[in-house]
């Protein structure tokens, strides 16, 4: 996927746990600036505190398990988002990537496949054979989803939202919902697949390297 360059890619690793509403507002502002040519292509990487988000593909709250009130009682926030996709979980130990890019050509399918390819190559760096599953967006290891993808395309061919890669995520949070509306498959993490903990900064470095490789 080719990008329409303003300056070199600005990679920002945000410290701590960034509330979802704060990151969402940051994306909106970056999209506004990118449309006007006042900001470069930007790649945000961060962790969220526990939060369930629901994308535009959800028609109702059916995939939120026992409901929003129950999920909030567990200590998580709930947000209805303008990204693609259905319900998912974000939390500590998960690397969330939000690329704010101006694409040279608006190829929505191609962009999603490129995001998947970035993560497939990162997982390959750890010796994990990951891939795609027909009819579903995201990255899979066997029958379990290890990375969810949900994006938004704004006027001017600007992207926002992005991917969430489970690294050391507490996967029990996913048990309370139907992740991405998919009942027949489970979720996994890099740590589960390797059988050991992985340092997030190390994985972030690999993501940046593979992202530059795919997007040029």
**CATH number of the CATH domain containing 207:** 3.30.930.10
194 located within any domain: yes
117 located within any domain: yes
What is the total count of domains within the chain? 1
Task: Report whether pLDDT(33) > 50.
Answer: yes
Cβ-Cβ contacts under 8 Å for 176 (sequence gap 6 or more): 52, 65, 66, 70, 71, 74
Angle at 12 between CA 146 and CA 164, to 5 degrees: 15
Q: How confident is the model at residue 59 (pLDDT cuts 50, 70, 90)?
A: confident
120 located within any domain: yes
In the residue annotation, 180 being an active-site residue is answered as yes
Lowest mean pLDDT among 59-73, 99-113, 127-141: 59-73
31 located within any domain: yes
Domain that holds residue 205: 10-215
4 located within any domain: no
Average pLDDT, rounded, for the chain: 93
The catalytic position among 1, 180, 190, 207 is 180
Distance in angstroms (rounded) separating the CA atoms of residues 104 and 6: 11
Task: Report whether pLDDT(88) > 50.
Answer: yes
pLDDT recorded at residue 1:
59
154 located within any domain: yes
95 located within any domain: yes
150 located within any domain: yes
């Amino acid at each position: 996927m080719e990008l329409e360059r303003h300056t070199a890619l600005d990679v920002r690793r945000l410290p701590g746990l960034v509330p979802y509403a704060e990151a969402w507002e940051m994306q909106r502002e970056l999209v506004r600036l990118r449309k006007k040519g006042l900001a470069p292509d930007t790649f945000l990487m961060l962790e969220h505190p526990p939060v369930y988000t629901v994308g535009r593909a959800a028609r109702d709250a059916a995939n939120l398990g026992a409901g929003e009130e129950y999920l909030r009682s567990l200590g998580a926030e709930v947000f209805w988002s303008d990204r693609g996709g259905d319900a998912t979980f974000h939390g500590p130990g998960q690397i969330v990537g939000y690329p704010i890019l101006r694409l040279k050509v608006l190829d929505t399918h191609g962009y999603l496949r490129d995001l998947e390819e970035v993560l497939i190559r990162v997982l390959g760096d750890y010796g994990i054979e990951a891939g795609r599953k027909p009819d579903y967006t995201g990255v899979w290891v066997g029958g379990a989803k290890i990375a969810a993808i949900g994006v938004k395309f704004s006027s001017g061919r600007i992207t926002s939202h992005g991917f969430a890669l489970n690294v050391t995520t507490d996967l029990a949070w996913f048990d309370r919902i139907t992740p991405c509306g998919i009942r027949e498959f489970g979720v996994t993490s890099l740590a589960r697949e390797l059988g050991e903990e992985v340092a997030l900064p190390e994985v972030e470095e690999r993501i940046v390297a593979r992202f530059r490789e795919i997007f040029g």
